[in-house]
Amino acid sequence: MKYSRSIISLALVFVVLMSTGFLCGSDRKKQTAQTSGVVTETGYETKRVRKSGNRNRKKKTKRTFEIVYRYTVNGVEYEEDSDRDESGAENRYRAGTQGTVCYDPNDPENSEFHLSNYTCGQ
Tens of pLDDT, residue by residue over 17-44, are: 444 444 444 444 456 999 999 999 999 9
pTM of the model: 0.66
pLDDT over 90, % of the chain:
50
Sign of CA dihedral 19, 109, 69, 49: negative
pLDDT per residue as tens digits for the range 73-91: 999 999 999 999 888 899 9
Which pLDDT belongs to residue 53?
66
DSSP result, 1-65: -HHHHHHHHHHHHHHHHHHTTTTTTHHHHHT-EEEEEEEEEEEEEEEEE--TT-SSSPPEEEEEE
Which pLDDT belongs to residue 35?
97
Which pLDDT belongs to residue 31?
65
Please, are residues 120 and 33 in contact by the beta-carbon 8 Å criterion?
yes
